[in-house]
Structure 1
Amino acid sequence: MTGLRVGVVLPSFGAGVPGSVAEHARHAEEVGLESVWVGDHLIPVRPFLDSTLVLATAAAVTERIRIGFGVLVLALRPVAWAAKQVATLQQLSGNRVLLGIGTGGSVHGDAAWRAVGVPYRERGRRTDAALAVLPGLVAGEPTAVHDEQVTLSPGAPMPPVLIAGSGAALRRVARYGDEWYPAFSSPDQIAEGVRELTELAAGFGRPTPGVTVNVSVGLGDLDPSLVDAQVRALTDYGMSEDQARRSLVTGSPAQAAERFAELAEAGVGRIVAMPFAGDRFRQRELLAETAELVAK
C-alpha cells in the first residue's frame, strides 16, 4: 500500500468556522498529510471564501504540503485570468499546486453563471477550450486566446491537472488530464472508469491518467445523527440514500485504512478526505493515523 497519498479538504471558511485558514493548513502539514484542498464556488448555498486566496494563504504559512483546487470551475473565469492565478500560486508556493478542474454541477443552480455572463449549457465546451490553452498560458509561452497572441509573465511550471466528472467527462480527462478526480465513487466504479480511461487515452496517444478520489470521512466515535446528516447532504448531489451511506468512510483509523486499501487496489493513487464531523483538528489527526497505517 506504500505510495497512496492522503490529503484533506479545508473547511469552507464562512461564518462560524472555528480556526483560521492558516491554523488549519499548518495543522494538516504538522500531522503529515500530503495535501490540502479547497472547493471553488462563486454563489454557493453557504458562505465560502475565494479558493485562490485561501490557497495563497495556505501556501504562505506552510513549506511542504501541496495545495489543491478541489475543483476550480474554470469556465467561470476568463482563461487568461485563471492562468495568471495558477502561475502566481505556483510562484508563491514553490510549485506545490494541484490543479483540480471541473465544469460545475447543478447542485448550486445557475446563479453564478448568470452573474458572470456565461451560459450554463456552454460550460463543458468552454472548459475544453480553456484546457487546450491553459498550459501555454501558465508557462508564459505565446498562446492564442480569442485570436489574440497572449504571453503572461512571469510564467511557471504547469501543475498536474486533475479533471472531475464521470460518463462523458472521461473523454475530457483522457485528452487533457494528468489524473481523473471523481467524487464518492466505489472501488468498482473506479476500476471501470480506469478501464475506460485506458482506452480513451490510447486514442489520444496519451498514458492512462492517475486517479485521485474525494471521500467523505468521519472518524472516531460519532453521534449517529452526524452520519445521518452527511447522508442527507450527499443525496443533494444525486446519490441515493443507500449509495450515500455506503460511500462514507467511518470508524477507527484501522477500519478507514481497510477502505482506503480497497480504493488503492482499484487504481486510486491519492485520497482527498472531506471530514464531516465537527472537530476538524481531531479528524485530521485520525486521518493522519489512517495514512500511516496505509503506508505500512
Structure 2
Amino acid sequence: MAANGVASIGECMLELSGQAGPNWRMGFAGDTFNMLWALHALSGERPATYVSAFGNDPFSQGQIAFFAENGIGIGQSPVIPGARPGLYAITLTGAERAFTYWRADAAARQLASDPDALAKNLENQALVYFSGITLGILEDARRQTLLKAVAKARAAGSLVAFDPNYRPRLWRSREEAQAATSEALAVTDIALPTFPDEQMLFGDATPQATAERLGRQVGEIAVKNGEDAALIAVDGAFQLVPAVHVATPVDTTGAGDSFNGGYLAARLAGHGPAEAAERAHRVAAAVVQVRGALAPFETLRAAFGN
C-alpha cells in the first residue's frame, strides 16, 4: 500500500525572467518542479519530494533552501561536488514566451546516477510523476535506470503520472523521443500530454487521435490544448472540458505544468477526471495572470476551490 507522499522527478533550473530595462529576476523553475509546486500547494499535508541531483555551489544550496522553505524536500537526491544547476532565461512578446537555455552540464542529468538512492526516493509514495524532459536530459543507460525505478514503485502501489512534454532540442532524433515516450507510457497510469507536442512528435491530427493512441497503453488521459478544451479519456470514453478564458494573460510560463498539478491534486483528493480538469483549468488560468512559472500558494488555492 503506497503512503501519502508525492514525488516528482526531473530538473529544476535557475529561471531568469525579464523585467523593465536591463534588470532580471532570478527564481527556480522547471516543468516537473512547477507541477510539484502546484500539487503541493493544493494537497494539504502530503509530503512532497523533488527527486533530482544537485551541485554544492551557492545556487544549488539556495535552490534546496527555497524548496525547504516551501515544504518540499529532496529525499536522498545526490549532491554532487563541482556540479551546478542549469539556467534558462524567459523573454516575452506580450504574454507569449521564448526560452534560452544553458543546461548541457546541469547536475540534474545525474539524477539516476545512484540507482539505490533513486529507488529509495520513490518508495511508499502515493504518486510518482515525471516527464519527457526528465527522459530527455538522461543518457540511455540512466533513462533505463529511471524507468525501472518508476516501474518498481508502480508495482508497489504508487500511482504514476507522466507528461510527454516533447522538446526536440533534448533528443538526438524524433524516433529516439518516440521510443522513449512509448517506454514511459508502458509504466504510466495517468498521461497528461499537450496536443501540439503530440502533433509534432507523433503526427496526431486531433486531440482525439492523441487520446486514442495513448489509450492503447494508458487508462486515463487528459489532453491539454492551450486555450481550447481539454479532452479527458478514461478507458476509451471521451469528454471535453472547456478551458477558462483569460482576456489579458500576463505570462503563460508554467500554465500546462500547473494544470497537471491541479489535475493530480484533484484526483488524489477523490474527484473524478472531469471535475479534476475543471479545477486544473482554473489553476492554469490563475497562473497565466502572474509573472514567472510559480504562482503564490494562496493564488493557486483560491483558484482550485474547496
Q: Tell me if TM exceeds 0.5.
A: no
Structure having greater relative contact order (Cα 8 Å, sep ≥ 6) = 1
* Shorter-chain TM-score tier: 0.3 to 0.5
Whichever structure has more helix as a proportion of its residues is 1
- Give TM-score scaled by structure 1 length: 0.42
